[in-house]
Structure 1
């Protein structure tokens, strides 16, 4: 049986289809070669900053290409990425970064004011890396993300200690059952649970050998998945991993405030195959937008709408399917941040 790391799989895909899109947000398109190079440079920067094997790297970010680049960099360097709820206040962030032993934090510059007074409480954090935002300068105590990922780095980057299938993904719960708790996933386990590089709805069986990754890409059209829920939660994050594992493109909505109108506009513009949401908070306004604008969007290209982490109603599902007639609705469930325990499909 093969043993897997996400970085090995994604590097093989980038080598075979360097010019295809990997990450999309509005007008921004990051190709697979750019995705790979940015992760190489960030991984090299983390190692040069003194982080070692299994160091924890926090992504305190809104949805966007930088989120998945940060995870890819951690995977390349044999480190463990950590999701961070961007709605947390100072005390919760201090608890989370301390509990996780975070040694690097990649954050949107707008969060600098929140982080500034916390730094003295988090002496274990060796590197702060700021992602640019309009109206928010990079703080003097942080590295500029764009500068970091533009640097030249060995390709493919591998730290002196290498990578193993035992490398971790650390997924923190939302704190609804007490303080947030870190669920530790071995990469090999998570890779297998979320499909092992296969995709049942596309008729793609799980991969059997690492060398099959690149060879199979020419046998199918790579999908575009529009992840509308936060990547900081397991639903969005793991859906993105599934798409990347088969060489697809992960798209994020341009706006941070959810808009069902924008969702449908982007789905049509991108010709999205899959749409990922979380329950009624998303699906109710989505259906309302469709009912109010019955002839605005042609959704014949949508093959699946997926949700996890929150219930949604049969009436809502039937309403969405009446507008996206070629789609299947996937409703998966788990236990806290343990996934892959069950699913239902509606068509």
Structure 2
């Protein structure tokens, strides 16, 4: 058995089923042969510009990267092709959240220091002022009327330039970087060896030879439908799990806002078998649309949700309206990959997760690994094929990826316990992260923006339950003095100008004083209690 690169797996699939449709996105359909060729040309273009691996993995510390990074600021269309092309060039694809404001993207790009940026044309216009001047810019046609940036190379030009074959031998050690938030609200890039993320989160394995891949993909089931954005780890992993198993994968065309009617029409038209989405932000509107209109979804055998919690009420509604499906709740993170799944059917719902290989629960004091049936609540963790660490952050790498009894583990930051049957009972994050509609919000960043508004003496941000989003961000604000009247609309506009939309508080709750502990740290227990009391705007 040997480790494989993602590009080599894709090429092996294209060798045996070249004409099978690989992806569908809006009106665009692409075969496995199309993507194999397109990714080869992109790799040649990047290599021709001098990009690739400059230091091999064995010479580097776990938080170091010896390869050029390529930032992807993209919708779902063409996303898999660009990721695979970057990997074939031995460059590191880096996901960038296009919902961010230009300020936030600027901070992320300053951290990542990409040698190239690939973006959809309209997104390039949005972030034109913060794209790094020294990088190569590649513009992907998105059908918009927005003109190309003067310094950009179009994707068509890049692919044409890459028609000349370069000599590139990619390695299973080459990296994929998944950008997530850090405990201070600043981004962290999780460094995965591509062979590890392939086996852990993309339905892969260490194949004996290409023939094993050929046998796996010759016969495919009905298409998979990735409704969630591929710029997030959960979306990319589920889409690639289908693609690298030889499945046709339908990608939601997220160049336009999420529309549940379009989702169900697409599922009906393409006769999809498996549909994946992110929590309540998707499940709520999808349930409402199913209650309004009927669709032929007889081909649908499973709906999978991950990246955020899904309200049990929405889960039950899906099982009642689609009685033939299995509802799969996936659990994991950018640092752990896919940790486990909870499978429910009509009349048989599950509230625990079946753990995948390497997943475990670590005692609270890191002294031992917990056993099934123990009452202790510990840390959800994983061993085996885990990320190397956080890019350019040795301290965070040592803290999150420690050795326990000689075994290297990744600690997720979530608390959990093992049930008698060995499944995971999840209790939630042990941090202040608010997970709203699949997007992670770090409250310190929100507080910094709110506190900067004139007339506000102090502020705390917390999450509270939301039927639509799972959790929503609210801010408690203390005016500078009793006579200060902070205008809600103006404060909201201030936040919109400095934060991505999903980070903007849904409500501002006026308090006389923000409570802090004796050491000066915020009293978040009080803040959450105040938010749950539904104190209204004064």
How far apart in 1 are the matches of 2:228 and 2:184? Answer: 21
- Asked whether the 8 Å contact 2:75–2:253 carries over to 1, the reply is no
Aligned length: 329
- Matched residue SS, 1:102: coil
Q: Is the 8 A contact 1:300 1:325 kept in 2?
A: no
1:152–1:57 CA distance, 2 compared to 1 (3 A)? closer
Establish whether residue 108 from structure 1 lines up as the match of residue 117 from structure 2: no
Q: Once the 2 structures are TM-superposed, how far is the Cα of residue 288 of structure 1 from its aligned partner?
A: 0.8
What residue ranges of structure 1 are gaps of 5+ in the alignment? 198-205
Q: What is aligned with 1:325?
A: 323
The 5 Å alignment of 1:3-82 reads 3-53=3-53, 54-64=67-77, 66-82=78-94
**In 1, are the aligned partners of 2:224 and 2:274 still within 8 Å (CA)?**
yes
Query: In the TM superposition, what whole-angstrom CA distance separates every residue of 1:39-66 from its partner, at most 9, and x where no partner exists?
Result: 11111111111212121111101111x2
Distance in 2, matches of 1:137 and 1:124, equals 21
Q: Is the 8 A contact 2:23 2:250 kept in 1?
A: yes
| Matched-pair contact (CA < 8 Å) for 2:48–2:162 | no
Aligned residue among 64, 84, 94 for 2:96: 84
Distance of 2:121 and 2:185 partners within structure 1: 29
Determine which of 137, 143, 148 is the counterpart of 1:128: 137
Q: Tell me by how many angstroms 1:75 deviates.
A: 1.4
**Partners in 2 of 1:93 and 1:317 — Cα distance?**
34
Task: Determine if the alignment matches structure 1 residue 165 to structure 2 residue 149.
Answer: no
The answer to whether the 8 Å contact 2:4/2:206 transfers is no
The verdict on how the C-alpha distance between 1:40 and 1:336 changes in structure 2, with shifts beyond 3 A counting, is closer
- The alpha-carbon deviation at position 314 of structure 1 amounts to 2.3
Question: How far apart, in 2, do the equivalents of 1:150 and 1:24 lie?
Answer: 23
| Structure ranking higher in helix proportion | 1
Shift in Å at residue 191 of structure 1? 1.3
Instruction: Show the counterpart of 1:238.
Output: 237
Matches of 2:116 and 2:80 in 1, distance apart? 15
Q: What's the Cα RMSD here?
A: 2.0
Structure 2 match to 1:188:
195
CA contact (8 A) 2:233 2:334 kept: no
Structure 1: distance between partners of 2:339 and 2:184:
20
The farther-off stretch of 55-64 and 91-100 is 91-100
SS of the residue corresponding to residue 230 of structure 1 reads coil
For the 8 Å contact 1:301–1:326, the answer to whether it is kept is no
Distance in 2, matches of 1:288 and 1:42, equals 42
Q: Distance in 2 between matches of 1:265 and 1:158?
A: 44
Would you say 1:342 and 2:340 are equivalent positions?
A: yes
Cα distance, 1:146 vs. partner? Answer: 2.4
- Quickly say closer, same or farther: Cα 1:254–1:118, change in 2 above 3 A: closer
Which residue of the partner structure matches residue 226 of structure 1?
225
What is the CA–CA distance in structure 2 between the aligned matches of 1:184 and 1:50, rounded to whole Å? 22
Match of 1:146? 156
Contact preservation (8 Å) 2:222, 2:271: no
Q: Which structure shows the higher strand fraction?
A: 2
> Is residue 129–residue 145 contact of structure 1 (8 Å, CA) maintained in 2?
yes
Deviations, residues 56-105 of structure 1 (Å, cap 9, x unaligned): 111101111x2111101011111110001001222221221221121110
Q: Deviations over 1:102-161 (max 9, x none)?
A: 111001111233333224xx3542x10011232112222000112323556257x652xx
1:243-282 CA distance string (max 9 Å, x none): 0111112212235211111100000101111111100110
User: Equivalents in 1 of 2:200, 2:86: separation in Å?
Assistant: 20
Q: Give, in whole Å, the separation in 1 of the partners of 2:324 and 2:164.
A: 45
Q: Secondary structure at the match of 1:257?
A: coil
Q: How does 1:212-223 map to 2 (within 5 A)?
A: 212-218=212-218, 220-223=219-222
TM-score (norm: length of structure 1): 0.89
SS at match of 2:14: helix
SS in 1 for 2:51: coil
Larger Cα-atom Rg = 2
Q: Helix, strand or coil: the match of 1:297?
A: coil
Counterpart mapping for 1:217-296 below 5 A: 217-218=217-218, 220-255=219-254, 256-293=256-293, 296=294
Distance 1:321 1:180 in 2: 37
C-alpha distance in 1 between matches for 2:159 and 2:268: 31
In structure 1, how many angstroms separate the alpha carbons of the residues matched to 2:221 and 2:163? 28
Structure 2 partner of 1:202: none
